[in-house]
Chains A and B, each alone.
Chain A
Amino acid sequence: MATPIQMPSLSPTMTEGKIVKWLKKVGDKVTSGEALAELETDKSNLEIEAYDDGTLAEIVVGENQSAPVGSPIAYLTPKGGKAAAAPTPAAAPKPVEAAAPKPPAPAAQATSAASAPVASGGRRVRASPLAKKIAKDRGLDIAQVQGSGPSGRVVKRDIEEALARGVKAPAAAPSAPVARKAPTAATVARPEARSEPLSSMRKVIAQRMTEVKPGVPHFYLTLEVEMDAAVKVREEAKAMELKVSVNDLIVKAVAMAVRRYPKINVSLQGDQVVHHGSVDVGIAVALEQGLITPVIRDADTKGLQAISTEVRELAERARKRALKPEEYTGGSITVSNLGMYGIDQFVAIINPPQASILAVGAVADKVVARDGQMVIRKMMTATLSCDHRIIDGAIGAEFLRELRGLLEHPTRLLF
């Protein structure tokens, strides 16, 4: 029997994928890592890679056809034989012995790898109760373990194998065998996220807020920012022939404010509050078909110029639908800017599992009162939407006040 190649889950929101094109045909030999097909997901186009050597035995889902995540799209006859393919994941008689050296189970790997690269987002991890218990006891992040059971269920033997391999990756890092191919400079030794259970008070707050506002219960905070100094920074950069936009400044300021108010850098996953270790800022990019939010990783540690270059590069590829999932998942907070459309003020909807989003309007000359005098200043309205289950008004307000301070006195961004 051949091994099924399953429709991979390449993003937390992906439920099905469409085969754009098969790059291999039935009978072709494939080697591990080779691209098999082009896939269109809800976010972008990606290639499906083979996780094993073998021969493409059958194509189940043809070009321009869609299939749900986890369903077989093709079958691979593993290298070196026909019947041998029958995947007996636990070749060893007892899962416990998985720690001992044992022959790899290629079939099992192929299935699991293809089925469930469990994303760092809010996606549910399928695991047996025992597997969950062992993972918890041993401090293993179960989201990092590939399940070999039905529908990618993580079972005891998978945990044992993972422990033997020494897997202990942080929850926030994107997993998946499709590892980040071009790591950005800042990806080395990023601060780890940590989870802690909701306190009972927070639990009640979360529950009550959800009763009133089902889903993610939002609340909104708005303030006006005087942008004269920020605009001046852009002009000075321009004079130095450096391309820096006001939006880049906002991204940087948001990152710095998040770093100073880490209470805003959280996500709710089940009944756990995840405190993100790094400051990753998403930017909403409008596409013809919709919207995507590429993420600037470690934006707090990057210079304005680096942020500017990265934003432009990511936005460019987003418009071409060429982003990789790890480039638009995760993230602490998102900045949505409709200033270029002349929008004065709007409220944005949170992009879960993030817990906040900043909506910024246009920078416009307005008459304001300063020292009892009417003066004209460049004003911008910023509205922060927060997930009230884990963020309260005071925290949001402190963060927003800090953000205003940073934008009004951009030299503070240097410190």
Chain B
Amino acid sequence: MPELMYREALNQALAEEMERDANVFLIGEEVGRYNGAFKVSQGLLDKFGSARIIDAPISELGFGGMSVGAAMVGLRPVVEMMTWNFAILAMDQIVNNAAKLRHMSGGQLRCPIVFRGPGGAGGRLSSQHSQALESNYAHFPGLKVIAPATPADAKGMLKAAIRDENPVIMFEGERLYALKGEVPEGEHVVPLGKADVKREGTDVTVITWSRMYYFCMQAAEELAKEGISVEVLDLRTLRPLDEEAILASVRKTNRAVIVEEGWALAGIGASVVDIIQSKAFDELDAPVERVTGLDVNMSYAANLENATQPDAPKIIAAVKKVLYRQGA
């Protein structure tokens, strides 16, 4: 299986879907002539031309709304947001229009659209450009929210998102784009709404998604040396949550740690805890622990930026806590 970077896997998914369906087009800031701010759309302008690879002005609300309109009349837009921090401007189109058109029109209108771009901290970009905003979008009925961690999932889930009949919000990551992994060629579609056990274990379930997945795998490696067997469950889709997979894993290990880049209050992890406590209460041997970003605005300074985010040592400490081990 070829090894691709995360951005290359996305590029492959876009190219394949655009070839497969002439209604698919890509729009966003610098997606065309500049080949994408993060080079996800490398070579696509040359291949598909400016009618389908559209450079948009710096106006997220404008091209966001325009794309919603295009979806209403039968096209399948992929809207690239340079980062999700900027997409806050487009929130009204995403939330009030994309998410609600089917409902408001009594099913007469549909909105098959993908909004995608990097979320989370990029590295010394300070508070306005480092936010993990997925819980905002996961709040709304009418949207699907995905956040793949690996290149293979990035390709398979973008393909699934483009084929979906409803709006899908896709969180990528500035620090994910250059990561490499094996990616199946051709028709590789990962169904939305399905979590994935990325590492099997018996002592504790660590639940995560997106970039935090790598810290969790690192922590799991470390803990294995101490004889602690960690199961890493990659949620991949944050709305709808894969309750079945979450509960199956917790029933197996009786303990859970949820690792989330964003803030704790009203985070995705809070909802995961809710699912666990309400549906697997009797299976728990310890309170569920959460490792989240600290409840502060992101610092510019690298040392403070690192201290703000979850990392392997913090995850290890949380795992030991739910296992009632020393050193927690």
Contacts and interface: CB of A to CB of B under 8 A. Distances in A.
A89 B328 CA distance: 13
A409 interface: no
A88 B227 contact: no
A89 B286 CA distance: 15
Interface of A: 86-90, 93-95, 128-133, 148-150, 155-157
A90 B325 contact: yes
Contacts of B325: 88-90
A14 B281 CA distance: 30
B34 interface: no
A156 B323 CA distance: 10
Contact of A87 (B202, B283, B326): B326
Contacts of B324: 89-90, 148-150, 155, 157
Interface string B273-302: 000000001111110000000000000000
A130 B277 CA distance: 12
A156 B202 CA distance: 14
B126 interface: no
Given A88-B326, A148-B324, A156-B254, A93 B228 contact: yes
A374 to B, nearest CB: 68
B203 interface: yes
Contacts of B254: 130, 156
Contact of B227 (A93, A129, A157): A93
A133 B281 CA distance: 10
Contacts of B226: 93
A87 B320 CA distance: 13
B229 interface: yes
Given A89-B325, A94-B229, 13 more contacts: A90-B323, A90-B324, A93-B226, A93-B227, A94-B227, A128-B284, A128-B286, A129-B282, A129-B284, A130-B284, A130-B285, A131-B285, A150-B324
Contact of B283 (A86, A94, A129): A129
Interface in B257-286: 281-286
B284 to A, nearest CB: 5
A2 to B, nearest CB: 13
Contacts of A93: 203, 226-229
Contacts of A87: 326
A148 B283 CA distance: 18
Nearest to A128: B285
Nearest to A157: B324
Contacts of A94: 202-203, 227, 229
Contacts of B282: 129-130, 132-133
Nearest to B251: A130
A155 B228 contact: no
9 nearest CB pairs, A to B:
A93-B227, A130-B285, A156-B285, A133-B282, A128-B285, A129-B282, A129-B284, A86-B326, A129-B281
A121 B283 CA distance: 27
15 contacts: A86-B327, A88-B325, A88-B326, A90-B324, A93-B229, A94-B202, A128-B285, A128-B286, A129-B284, A129-B285, A130-B282, A130-B283, A130-B285, A155-B286, A155-B324
A247 B323 CA distance: 55
A88 B254 CA distance: 19
Interface of B: 202-203, 226-229, 254, 281-286, 323-327
Contacts of A89: 324-325
A74 to B, nearest CB: 19
Contacts of B283: 129-130, 133
A128 B256 CA distance: 14
Contacts of B281: 129
Nearest to A148: B324
Nearest to A127: B285
B250 to A, nearest CB: 10
A183 B285 CA distance: 36
Nearest to A108: B324
Contacts of B202: 94
Contact of B285 (A86, A88, A155): A155
Contacts of A150: 324
B35 to A, nearest CB: 50
A201 to B, nearest CB: 27
A285 to B, nearest CB: 42
A128 to B, nearest CB: 5
Contacts of A157: 324
B276 to A, nearest CB: 11
Nearest to A155: B285
A93 B202 CA distance: 10
Contact of A149 (B203, B227, B286): B286
Contacts of B327: 86
Contacts of A132: 282
A90 B229 CA distance: 14
Contacts of B229: 93-94
Which of B227, B228, B285, B286 has the most chain A CB atoms inside 10 A of its CB? B285
A403 to B, nearest CB: 44
Nearest to B280: A129
Which of A89, A130, A156 has the most chain B CB atoms inside 10 A of its CB? A130
Contacts of B323: 90
A371 B227 CA distance: 86
A161 B127 CA distance: 50
A198 to B, nearest CB: 20
A136 to B, nearest CB: 9
Which of B202, B254, B324 has the most chain A CB atoms inside 10 A of its CB? B324
A149 B321 CA distance: 10
A94 B231 CA distance: 14
Which of A88, A132, A148, A149 has the most chain B CB atoms inside 10 A of its CB? A88
A149 B254 CA distance: 15
Contacts of B326: 86-88
A149 B285 CA distance: 10
Nearest to A136: B282
A108 to B, nearest CB: 9
A53 to B, nearest CB: 20
A130 B283 CA distance: 5
A128 B227 CA distance: 23
A414 B227 CA distance: 65
A156 B284 CA distance: 9
A132 to B, nearest CB: 7
Nearest to A107: B326
B172 to A, nearest CB: 37
Contacts of B227: 93-94
Contacts of B286: 128, 149, 155
